A and B are shown apart, each in its own frame.
Chain A
Amino acid sequence: MTLLRMTGIGKSFPGVRALDGVDLEVAEGEVHCLLGQNGAGKSTLIKVLAGAHQPDQGEITWLGRPTTLPSPVAALRLGVATMYQELDLVPGISVAENVLLGHEPSRFGFTGGRVARQRARALMARLGHPEIDPDREVGTLSAAGQQLVSMARALAHDARLIVMDEPTAALAADEVDNLFRIVAELTADGVAVLYISHRLEEIRRIGSRVTVLKDGRTVAAGLPADTPTSELVDVMSGRAVDTVFPHREVSTVDSSREVLTVEGLTREGEFRDVTFHVHAGEVLGIAGLVGAGRSEILETVFGARKPQAGVVKVDGRPVKPGSVPAAVRAGIGLAPEERKAQGLLLDLSVAHNVTLSSLPAYSTAGFVDRDRELRDSRATLERLDLRPADPRRLVSEFSGGNQQKAVVARWLVRGCRVLLLDEPTRGVDVGARAELYRVIHELAAAGVAVVLVSSEVAEVLGLADRVLVLRDGEVVADRPAGELTESAVLDIVLAGSALTESAATQGAVTEEVK
């Protein structure tokens, strides 16, 4: 029997359409897998289900009856419990308190410690871990232990549908087995599980059906879980929205001038022995899953993280490791992944944001030359076609694409030699993307060495001259972009995360690459 049916769900944020017609149908007692590339809309969909986001359009029915999920509490009451990827536990309090957080058994307002402990103990036993003490502080548990607490919390709500967002990301192999056993028991009791994972082999093992999201839309619903890998990859990568990548008739790569050299860069637990070279006018794309170490590498090159080994050179001269000011002086610029949290000063004007890294050049004896600042900012905004090109407006008043241009403008004004772009088009709508793509190519044409990290494989392939594929912190492929296809890259990336992926996929990789 159908437990949950979502039809035509749409959700917009300022400047971006996160969900654009999602259909999802989950039956009682099944493990329904949700598949899609980063940015396909999975997280937004989960938040809609959890009552954290309100959809702009679409219908939700629960056991055949139309319903809404106006708040997280309402979702829980209905029977939808969510286990987020970043565990939402309170580390400083006990297991029992976490499990029953928000609906503590109480009498006359006093919390009933004994009842809570008993219930928590019973739930942990049901999950196969009676040894976890309900009085234990959650922060002292391992990642797997915390996950169990998170699951116990879902069960404590008598959930009919449990949403699991990449539950195995932090687990070792035997812990994964235990998780799957629990999932099997839950589904035998009629509980449905919406399972999100990048690991296709897990989906094969426990999944009943698969729904694939792409660009905020359902592109395949209710596929059997044993659909061949190549077919799933095709569905995931088939572009519903055709983003036009600008043509580059002439390559701008000046192979005689190597601008950025990275050799043997290592940070334990993040990435190992990363080596690459970028020439003037070249765009190097870095592909890989979230967590493969992409942003960490960029931030280390930029000096925001200190490497344990390896060197970064600009124009052959080594850059002092672990120092952002040194990297900036050497001519490196970074447009960070989290535009608002790491890139912009939302309370300041565009001009102030643009000149932030070049203030000494815009001041005499410490006094800022505000006329020159405004003039140069405006000229740069016009060069990047940032609209409206009024540098005195607050940066928070601009759309995502224009904010990204403001970050790029900061390094343009400084005259950088190397530009590191971390997810430059995240949260940017299609039209503004095309403009950003043009800007990136024009920067390259002007002799800048560009390193581009993106979760969208098509973007990396469309923009870059050469592509680096990362898997678990290691470079597993370094090839000219022309030799790769989107499904080939996805295959390389997914093959790595599917621990025991069949030989068929391996074959597909080599085939595609050839």
Chain B
Amino acid sequence: MTELRVLDPKSAPPREEPRRRRALDLRLAGLLGVLVVLCAVGYATRPDSFLTEANISTMLRLAAAIGVVSVGMTFVIISGGIDLSVGSIVALSSVWMTTVATQSYGPVVMVLCALLVGLACGLVNGVLISYGKIVPFIATLAMYASAKGLAERLSGRRTQVVTETGFTTFFRGDLLGVPVLIWLLAAVFAVGWVVLNRTTFGRRTFAVGGNAEAARLAGIDVKRHTALVYGIAGLCCGIAALMVVARTTSGASTNGMFYELDAIAAVVIGGTLLTGGRGSLIGTLIGVLIFTVVGNIFTQNNLDTDIQNIAKGVIIVAAVLLQRTTSARRRGARTT
């Protein structure tokens, strides 16, 4: 194409404006502040044990599985969807990878089994939603029920103990002094962040969630992309299943219970819009950590879980209200 001339050569090139990410940064800083305050509370109530290496390690290992699920959930919610089936997929993957038959093939097959089961469930979700035109809420609700049912059937509702020692030795062990589970959590977050913020896939995820019609009219294959996003969420569930199995040395259909609610809560607290198009994985990570620290404070102080659940609810509402005040949504007035 021939070059088009700048229309007014006299006008000096406009000065660069600072990057407009302040609203988001401000919100993340606020969340981080909440986390710090919670840690301070933990330290104040249990100065002897809260900030010890052992306790931090315990907290992070507990946070690992739900954290990984939340990464997938962040992708789904940014793309404008929702996934209610993550807990059941974790259960199914954990059961499938720990059947006697799977274990007999050794640790590598167990890992692959968990990942494949998760990915497959996620892709089924995605295909139903994008090509079957079933709304995400319903499609993943159906997956929630059937994956759970399949997990119960496979396991006969019994807990399947992991006898494969290679698997447990590796995943329960340390690497450079840090538990493997924590490495995994960090790796999933790092990869997720890069994919979301540095690749065409991530860019398109924001586009599809922000305005699916505009994305379609820009030439993006919105259906295929949507299907893949749910595939990612499923894959994350498979990884989370590995972590749960490693931590509990068993697979059961009760694994992953309420993960969907915890993950959605963490994503929303982290500042990702439920309507899609805007969000941050760092926010999700902080959201997960906030929940973990709250849980830990309650456990350390021997408080009941019922109070803990009430506290969780209060935190969710407070976080969302806080975000509303810091992000006055721009809304262009429409004419005629």
Is A192 an interface residue when CB atoms closer than 8 A count as contact? no
The distance from the CB of A390 to the nearest CB of chain B, in whole angstroms, is 5
The one of B14, B206, B217 that contacts A347, using a Cβ cutoff of 8 Å: B206
Complex CA–CA separation, A346 to B336 (angstroms): 20
With A346-B211, A388-B14, A446-B1 known as contacts, the answer to whether A363 contacts B200 (CB < 8 A) is: yes
Which among A128-136, A264-272, A333-341 touches the partner chain? A333-341
CA distance A105 to B25 in the complex (A): 51
Count residues of chain A with CB under 8 A from any CB of chain B: 66
A348 interface residue per 8 A CB criterion: yes
Q: Are A342 and B214 in contact (CB-based, < 8 A)? A: yes
CB pair B215 A382 closer than 8 Å: no
Q: How far is the CB of A245 from chain B (nearest CB, A)?
A: 16
Q: Which of chain B's residues have a CB closer than 8 A to the CB of A390?
A: 14, 16-17
Which stretch from A39-47, A71-79, A224-232, A473-481 is at the chain B interface? A39-47
Contact indicator per residue, chain A 395-408, by CB within 8 Å of chain B (1) or not (0): 01100000000000
- Give the distance in Å from the alpha carbon of A14 to the alpha carbon of B330 in the complex: 12
For residue B8, which residues in chain A have a CB less than 8 angstroms away from its CB?
385
| The one of B215, B221, B278 that contacts A356, using a Cβ cutoff of 8 Å | B215
State the CA gap A348–B220 with chains docked (Å): 16
A392 CA / B2 CA spacing, docked (Å): 26
Cα distance A443–B1 when bound, in Å? 9
Does the CB pair B336–A343 fall under 8 Å? no
List CB contacts (< 8 Å) of B217-254 with chain A: 217-221
Q: How many residues of B contact A (CB 8 A)?
A: 42
Residue of A nearest to B202 (CB): A368
Residue A383 contacts which of B6, B17, B215 (CB distance < 8 angstroms)? B6
- Which interface residue of B3, B13, B15, B211 has the most chain A CB atoms within 10 A? B211
Q: Give bound CA distance, A334 to B218, whole Å.
A: 8
**In the complex, how many angstroms separate the beta carbon of B220 from the nearest chain A beta carbon?**
7
Which A-chain residue is minimally distant from B207 (CB atoms)? A345
Asked, given contacts A304-B217, A442-B4, whether A368 binds B203 with beta carbons under 8 Å apart, the answer is yes
A388 contacts which chain B residues (CB < 8 A)?
A: 14-15, 17
Interface flag for B148 (CB, 8 Å):
no
B324 located at the interface, meaning its Cβ lies under 8 Å from any Cβ of chain A in the complex: no
* Chain B residue with the shortest CB-CB distance to A380: B4
A302 cross-chain contacts in B, Cβ below 8 A: 217
* B199 lies within 8 A of A367 (CB): yes
Within 8 A of A (CB), among B318-336: 330, 332-336
Cross-chain contact B20 with A14 (CB below 8 angstroms):
no
CB-based contact A324/B219 at 8 Å: yes
Q: How far is the CB of B207 from chain A (nearest CB, A)?
A: 5
Q: Is there contact, CB below 8 Å, between B213 and A342?
A: yes
Say yes or no for A108: interface residue by CB 8 A criterion: no
Say yes or no: A363 contacts B336, CB within 8 Å. no
When distances are taken between beta carbons in the complex, the residues of chain B under 8 Å from A367 are 198-200
Q: Are A324 and B217 in contact (CB under 8 A)?
A: yes
With both chains docked as a complex, state the minimum distance between the C-beta of A430 and any C-beta of chain B, in angstroms. 14
- A396 B330 Cβ-Cβ under 8 A: yes
CB pair B214 A344 closer than 8 Å: yes
Whether the pair B16, A347 counts as a contact (CB closer than 8 A) is: no
A16 CB contacts on chain B under 8 angstroms: 335
A359-B204 CB under 8 A given contacts A340-B332, A347-B278, A392-B19: yes
In the assembled complex, 8 residue pairs joining A and B whose CB atoms fall closer than 8 Å, in A order, are: A325-B221, A329-B219, A341-B211, A359-B203, A410-B218, A427-B335, A435-B7, A447-B2
Q: Footprint of A on B, CB under 8 Å?
A: 1-8, 13-17, 19-20, 198-201, 203-204, 206-207, 210-211, 213-221, 277-278, 330, 332-336
